[in-house]
Amino acid sequence: MRQLIPVILLASLPAWAQQGNLQPLPAVPPPAPGMEAFDAALEPQVTIVKTETETREEFRQNGRIYMVKVTPAVGPVYYLVDQQGDGNFVQQDSPGTMVSPAMWRIFSW
């Protein structure tokens, strides 16, 4: 009999929980702590210029072009980046790589 009482209590627990005042969950979860509201002024503006030989994507922030992604019709994609903010663009293979590793031809045929 003593073993039967805990089993009956556990079996009645779901029915007892349903009798309470349940509230539906909100449709949209609350934002994570520290998340800031979206600010369109912080987002870069992208202008896409297509020609027969290439496609250029010009990235602007505060009205100044800081990076251009060039996708030629033939050849690899490359980036022109204004590193100093003075209007002089430097070619890079990918945005964020400043190091150009040394390469030597070891073998060719």
Q: What was the pLDDT predicted at 49?
A: 93
At residue 12, the pLDDT reads: 64
Q: What is the DSSP string of 93-107?
A: SSTT-----------
How much is the pLDDT for 43?
75
Answer yes or no: is 47 within a domain: yes
Q: Provide the number of structural domains found in the chain.
A: 1
Q: Which domain holds residue 70?
A: 42-92
Which parts of the chain have pLDDT scores under 70? 1-22, 25-26, 29-41, 95-102
Q: What pTM does this model have? A: 0.51
The per-residue pLDDT for 107 is: 80
Spatial distance between the Cα atoms of 84 and 10, rounded to a whole number of angstroms: 70
Best CA proximity match to 65, nearest among 88, 39, 95: 88
Structure confidence at residue 8 (pLDDT): 67
| CATH code: domain of residue 61 | 2.20.130.30
If you write DSSP's letter for every residue of 41-60 in order, what string do you get?
GGSPEEEEEE-SSEEEEEEE
Residue 30 belongs to a domain: no
Q: Is residue 7 part of a domain?
A: no
